[in-house]
């Protein structure tokens, strides 16, 4: 590569002596005088007329050489001067992973960046030609043909692990192509068949069961995936990466206790495992062990290990630091933003649609939901009275906030709609309010939001936090608002509520609430779809 660099940078003796002129002086480029720079520019001569090509001559030759290069490339392709199949065939001798061709993974093996996996047992080496031919079909995207090819090999050699694994991969690819869960279930079963055969190479066994677990998770079969991961750990108890995967499997079914035990085992053996650290820190924070969680989250992210550069870990590290008064919190939010996990330092939601207008506070006109806002403000007393009646009848209908967002105090909510679904029993307590809202699908159909009463008692502080998604806006209708002591900050602007008036903000931005009044505060929360979402997006986005 060195000669090419010289040719590009003018480091040789060509270009009419320009390289020699600049290279023979003792003054560096960074400290050269204007005169020296002019000399270098004009080929070492002050007047630029001798010892080099003129500017127009140089340009002419440059264009000739460039055109020759272009036409040579065209000729190679057009007249098929190179037999690419032959070239690839020769590279095939460097097929390190037994998948039938030379690719990036093989290059990594040759560069000693990746351990060479062994996918073929002794028998499969005897039918490698047939296996390679089928695998090439799969690699070229001829999935249906590849399926048939591998099925034929499996029919001829039912004890071939590599053939059955190739069949599973093809079914996996076909499921992706056809978006078919039925075909994917077939692939999951075939991966299991691979693991059940005798004399399966260790690497192939791991690959089959790991892929089976991943595809089970994709289908939402979390407990089935967990069983597969448990089997992997039993088969390979010294492989900490498999234990890390098992920990994730427990987290996916909400079993934090067993996940914690797994990561403790990993960290006892490999105390610098970054993946285990961030997940262990995540679990500690979920258990409200805020200060304990910080070093694990921080050191895990800093390790740079695969799986640690995840927005959730930056989110929870910053949040934990805020709660203990550590001013480094925004440093980590900034880093999370720079690495593409957050839309901005303030807007830290994790389930987003790109390109939506983003600002902390909105006016009714900006949202386009003017009719909804007018209806809420016109009927605020009716909404208030039904909320107060529910409070008087049965305080138990207001449930305490359960997302660990309070530093202190008493904050409860009474929910009418959740994820676009109406709570019929709750609406019996506020029938007129629910009837009023039925006219506005932008809120009742918002599957990423809620409609609810929110009561907050004196002495309450809600930590700075962000909502989960940028796909909604949040309306607050003031119902019972004390004169002083209640305020809400969103990003860097703080506002107060007014009875009968609607505040609108984007809760994907950081916000914080204080209730330091002498009596309770009651508001009505109405989430709406972000106005820039299309009808198709509103129908297809999964609920949160």
pLDDT digit string, tens, across residues 475-525 = 999 999 999 999 999 999 999 999 999 999 999 999 999 999 999 999 999
Is the pLDDT at 243 greater than 80? The verdict is yes
Confidence band for 22, pLDDT divided at 50, 70 and 90: very low
| β-bridge partners, 347 | 509
Residue 418, classed as helix, strand or coil, is strand
> What does DSSP assign to residue 30?
G
- Cα separations (Å) of 410 from 287, 385, 458, 462, 480? 20, 21, 8, 10, 16
Residue pair 211/191 in contact by the 8 Å Cβ criterion: yes
Rounded to 5 degrees, φ, ψ at 133 are -65, -40
How far is 451 from 423, CA to CA, in rounded Å? 10
Question: Which pLDDT score is estimated for 159?
Answer: 97
Is the pLDDT at 20 greater than 50? The verdict is no
Is the pLDDT at 109 greater than 70? The verdict is no
pTM tops 0.85, yes or no:
no
Chain segment 321-373, per-residue pLDDT in tens: 999 999 999 999 999 999 999 999 999 999 999 999 999 999 999 999 999 99
How far is 311 from 295, CA to CA, in rounded Å? 17
Is the pLDDT at 151 greater than 70? The verdict is yes
To the nearest 10°, report the CA torsion of 215, 219, 224, 230: 40
Confidence band for 392, pLDDT divided at 50, 70 and 90: confident
Residue 361, classed as helix, strand or coil, is strand
Interval 64-75 mean pLDDT: 63
Confidence band for 314, pLDDT divided at 50, 70 and 90: very high
- Cα separations (Å) of 470 from 95, 149, 344, 364, 450? 46, 47, 12, 17, 14
Average pLDDT value for the chain: 86
Angle CA(348)–CA(350)–CA(355) in degrees, nearest 5?
80
In terms of C-beta density within 10 A (0-12 exposed, 13-18 middle, 19 or more buried), how is residue 358 classed? middle
Question: Which pLDDT score is estimated for 80?
Answer: 52
Helices 128-139 and 161-178, axial angle in degrees (round to 10): 10
Confidence band for 289, pLDDT divided at 50, 70 and 90: very high
Helices 202-218 and 161-178, axial angle in degrees (round to 10): 20
How far is 320 from 300, CA to CA, in rounded Å? 15
529: closest CA among 461, 457, 440? 440
Confidence band for 18, pLDDT divided at 50, 70 and 90: very low
Lowest mean pLDDT among 69-73, 416-420, 437-441, 503-507: 69-73
Question: Which pLDDT score is estimated for 139?
Answer: 95
Interval 119-135 mean pLDDT: 97
Confidence band for 383, pLDDT divided at 50, 70 and 90: very high
**Higher pLDDT among residues 114 and 325, named by residue:** 325
Residue pair 18/11 in contact by the 8 Å Cβ criterion: no
Beta strands (DSSP E) in 360-482 are 361-362, 399-400, 406-408, 411-418, 421-422, 450-456, 460-465, 472-480
Question: Which pLDDT score is estimated for 142?
Answer: 96
How far is 479 from 498, CA to CA, in rounded Å? 8
Lowest mean pLDDT among 66-70, 156-160, 278-282, 467-471: 66-70
Question: Which pLDDT score is estimated for 51?
Answer: 45
Q: Retrieve residue 277's tokens.
A: 């650290």
Interval 95-120 mean pLDDT: 62
Is the pLDDT at 313 greater than 70? The verdict is yes
Question: Which pLDDT score is estimated for 45?
Answer: 39
Is the pLDDT at 127 greater than 50? The verdict is yes
Lowest mean pLDDT among 99-113, 162-176, 327-341: 99-113
């Amino acid at each position: 590569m060195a000669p090419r660099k010289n040719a590009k940078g003018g480091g040789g003796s060509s270009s009419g002596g320009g390289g020699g002129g600049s290279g023979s002086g003792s003054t560096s480029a960074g400290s050269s005088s204007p005169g020296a720079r002019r000399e270098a520019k004009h080929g070492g001569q002050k007047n630029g007329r001798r010892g080099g090509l003129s500017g127009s001559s140089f340009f002419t030759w440059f264009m000739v050489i460039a055109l020759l290069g272009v036409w040579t490339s065209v000729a190679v392709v057009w007249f098929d001067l190179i037999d690419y199949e032959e070239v690839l065939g020769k590279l095939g001798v460097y097929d390190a992973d037994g998948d039938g061709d030379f690719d990036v993974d093989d290059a990594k093996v040759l560069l000693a960046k990746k351990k060479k996996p062994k996918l073929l047992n002794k028998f499969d080496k005897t039918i490698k030609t047939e296996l390679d031919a089928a695998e090439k079909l799969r690699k070229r995207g001829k999935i249906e043909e590849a399926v048939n090819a591998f099925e034929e090999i499996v029919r001829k050699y039912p004890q071939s692990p590599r053939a059955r694994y190739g069949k599973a991969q093809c079914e996996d690819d076909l499921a992706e192509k056809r978006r078919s869960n039925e075909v994917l279930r077939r692939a999951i079963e075939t991966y299991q068949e691979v693991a059940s055969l005798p004399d399966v190479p260790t690497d192939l066994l791991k690959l089959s069961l790991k892929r089976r677990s991943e595809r089970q998770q994709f289908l939402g079969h979390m407990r089935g995936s967990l069983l597969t991961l448990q089997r992997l750990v039993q088969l390979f108890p010294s492989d900490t990466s498999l234990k890390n995967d098992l920990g994730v499997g427990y987290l996916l079914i909400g079993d934090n206790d067993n996940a914690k035990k797994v990561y403790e085992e990993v960290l006892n053996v490999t105390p610098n495992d970054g993946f285990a650290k961030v997940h262990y820190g995540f679990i500690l924070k979920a258990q409200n062990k805020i200060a304990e969680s910080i070093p694990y989250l921080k050191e895990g992210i800093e390790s740079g290990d695969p799986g640690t550069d995840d927005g959730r870990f930056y989110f929870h590290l910053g949040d934990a630091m805020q709660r203990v008064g550590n001013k480094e919190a925004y440093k980590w939010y900034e880093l999370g933003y720079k690495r593409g996990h957050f839309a901005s330092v303030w807007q830290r939601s994790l389930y987003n649609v790109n390109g939506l207008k983003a600002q902390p506070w909105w006016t009714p006109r900006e949202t386009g939901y003017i009719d909804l806002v007018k209806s809420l403000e016109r009927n605020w007393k009716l909404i208030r009275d039904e909320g107060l009646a529910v409070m008087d009848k049965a305080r138990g209908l207001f449930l305490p906030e359960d997302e660990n967002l309070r530093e202190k105090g008493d904050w409860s909510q009474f929910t009418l709609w959740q994820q676009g679904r109406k709570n019929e029993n709750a609406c019996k307590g506020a029938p007129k309010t629910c009837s009023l809202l039925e006219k506005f699908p932008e809120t009742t159909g918002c599957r990423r939001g809620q409609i609810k009463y929110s009561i907050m008692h004196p002495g309450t502080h809600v930590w700075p936090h962000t909502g989960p998604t940028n796909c909604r806006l949040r309306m607050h209708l003031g119902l019972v608002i004390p004169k002083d002591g209640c305020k809400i900050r969103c990003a860097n602007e703080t506002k107060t509520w007014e009875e009968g008036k609607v505040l609108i903000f984007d809760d994907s931005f950081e916000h914080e609430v204080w209730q330091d009044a002498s009596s309770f505060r009651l508001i009505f929360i109405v989430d709406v779809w972000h106005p820039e979402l299309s009808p198709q997006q509103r129908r297809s986005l999964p609920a949160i």
